[in-house]
Amino acid sequence: MDQHFEELLLQYAQAESSEGRQKIRDALWERFGHKKAVLVMDMSGFSLLTQRFGIVHYLSMVKRMQITTAPIIERHAGIVVKFEADNCFAMFDDVGPAVEAAVALNAAFAAINQFTDDEFDIRASIGIDYGEVLLIGGPDYFGNPVNRASKIGEDVAGPGEILLTESALAQFPPEGQPPGEQLELSLSGIRLTVLKLAYR
């Protein structure tokens, strides 16, 4: 983690007034804040697969997912921020390339699944959001867009589904918005409207 970021966090915890904390928050966002499209991908059905076939099976599938995912993200002008267990966290400057990458990822998994037995098939669910995140090196990122993309990608989207938040959808012009089904969600007490992308 960036040393200056850590120092500011410590100062925030030690600040004696709300005004002091606000100044530190402002300094953090000014130095480390960036507007990004956030893509979070989760591999579906992995708890069951691990129980049935063991950790080696799980790790081999995660490795195949990573090898497939990284070049597709990069080809669409994205950056893989990190792989964490069976998840991929990525970011893009714009939502359009993030959506294109998500579609390409599911197409790639569908293609390679034709050559594997069912227990080796990779199926992914994807959430995409847009907004201001803290980029602090490491690499890592934090912020509401990361949390929302994680929630809808991991907890709501089904295998092969791509969900976009209202913030992500708002980055498209009205005449150029992607097709899909609007869903109303309540996650951890937060109401969200998302679009389930129609792409197949």
pLDDT of residue 1: 63
Residue 193 and residue 143: Cα distance in Å, rounded? 18
**174 occurs within a structural domain:** yes
Eight-state DSSP code of residue 175: G
**103 occurs within a structural domain:** yes
**114 occurs within a structural domain:** yes
Name the nearest CA neighbour of 96 among 164, 153, 161. 164
- Domain with 156, as residue range(s), is 33-197
**8 occurs within a structural domain:** no
Confidence of residue 188 (pLDDT cuts 50, 70, 90): confident
CA 79 vs. chain centroid, Å, equals: 11
pLDDT tens per residue, range 30-82: 999 999 999 999 998 767 777 787 888 888 889 999 999 999 999 999 999 99
The partner residues of 87 in beta bridges, in order of sequence, read 42, 84
**137 occurs within a structural domain:** yes
DSSP labels, 81-119: EEEETTEEEEEESSHHHHHHHHHHHHHHHHHHHTTS-GG
**96 occurs within a structural domain:** yes
Tokens (6 digits) for 200: 């197949």
pLDDT tens per residue, range 5-43: 888 889 999 998 999 999 999 999 999 999 999 999 999
Other beta carbons within 10 Å of 132: 13
pLDDT tens per residue, range 139-168: 789 999 999 999 999 999 999 999 999 999
How many degrees, rounded to 5, is the angle at CA 160 between CA 105 and CA 111?
50
Name the nearest CA neighbour of 43 among 7, 75, 85. 85
Count up the domains in the chain and report the number.
1
Eight-state DSSP code of residue 9: H
Question: What's the CATH number where 138 sits?
Answer: 3.30.70.1230
**185 occurs within a structural domain:** yes
pLDDT tens per residue, range 91-141: 999 999 999 999 999 999 999 999 888 778 899 999 999 999 999 876 789
**4 occurs within a structural domain:** no
Q: Which residue has the higher pLDDT, 87 or 139?
A: 87
Pairing of strands 124-135, 162-165: parallel
- pLDDT exceeds cutoff 90 at 4: no
